[in-house]
Amino acid sequence: MERKKLANSSWLASSEVLKSHFKTGFMLLLLSLQPTIPPALAEDLSPQEIVLNLGKKLSSITSLEANFSQYYYSTDVEEPVAGQGRVFIRRPDRMRWEYSSPEKQIFLLKGKAFWLYFPDDKQLIKKEAEAEFQATEILGLLSGNFNLLDRYEAAASSFPTAQKNIYQIKLTPREPGQYAYLLLEIDRKTYLILKAILFEATGSKLEYHFSQFKLGRKLNDELFELKVPANCEIIEGKLAPDHKKTRDKLLT
């Protein structure tokens, strides 16, 4: 099947773009930054303390399930690419992103194994994921395996939202990478990430919304396995640290 090309996106996003540069899967809504200090910081917690508490929360979770919606805005595409589904995380090294729209697809991370499965195309891409890939922003944020303050500078940053009782934080990577900076919306009570916005230096933006969290449930090994039909095309190789093409394919 001939695959349409999306623009450079970022990591896991939606479907018709998910079939070209490597089938892509995560996206963004346009958000304008405001210079004011968010009311969510009125409790006298510094941005660094909030990020430290976020890291402690994520590292304490044994398993996490949530619904997600994704929106990717490219400088080359007028309308955003959107997708949604459910994510399953079992620390320290298991993730499953299961897309229900715009078409069914599964992203699986198990140790160093990185699998992309497209049931409609009967295609499975199997790669070995380097540590740099597994530390990429959204994976690293949700895994709880990384010290966020070692990787980012934290600052208060307010942006439009309909949510209440939240913290809003700006994270700037200490080392140059795919993203110029990230904005996080964090629930004050649970310290779970409700929204993550990733801004590329190119001007493209990727946004994730998370809801319907379930924590600490038993996630069996079978959830992190894939059963594919006998006529499934299997593509194998090694995923280099420069994972841009893989992210682009995830955002088809």
Percent of the chain that is helix, strand, coil (3-state, to 5): 20, 40, 40
Virtual torsion, Cα 62, 157, 83, 247, nearest 10 deg: -80
The identity of residue 164, as a single letter, is K
The DSSP 8-state label assigned to residue 40 in this structure reads G
Yes or no: say if 68 and 210 are a contact pair by the CB < 8 Å rule. yes
Residue 139: per-residue pLDDT: 83
The residue assigned the tokens 């941005």 is 47
For CA atoms 163, 206, 193, 250, the dihedral sign is: positive
User: H or E element: which one contains 152?
Assistant: strand 152-156
Dist CA 6 CA 14 (whole Å): 10
pTM of the model: 0.77
pLDDT-derived band at 207 (thresholds 50, 70, 90) equals very high
Dist CA 14 CA 24 (whole Å): 6
Q: Which of 66-80, 121-135, 161-175, 219-233 has the lowest mean pLDDT?
A: 121-135
Dist CA 175 CA 123 (whole Å): 35
The candidate with the shortest Cα–Cα distance to 148, out of 200, 184, 112, is: 184
pLDDT in tens, 24-59: 333 333 233 333 444 444 457 999 999 999 999 999
CA atoms within 13 A of residue 204's CA, in its CB half-sphere: 24
Dist CA 93 CA 122 (whole Å): 26
Class level of CATH domain 22-251: mainly beta
Yes or no: say if 106 and 226 are a contact pair by the CB < 8 Å rule. yes
Residue 7 has pLDDT above 90, yes or no: no
Domain boundaries, the chain: 22-251
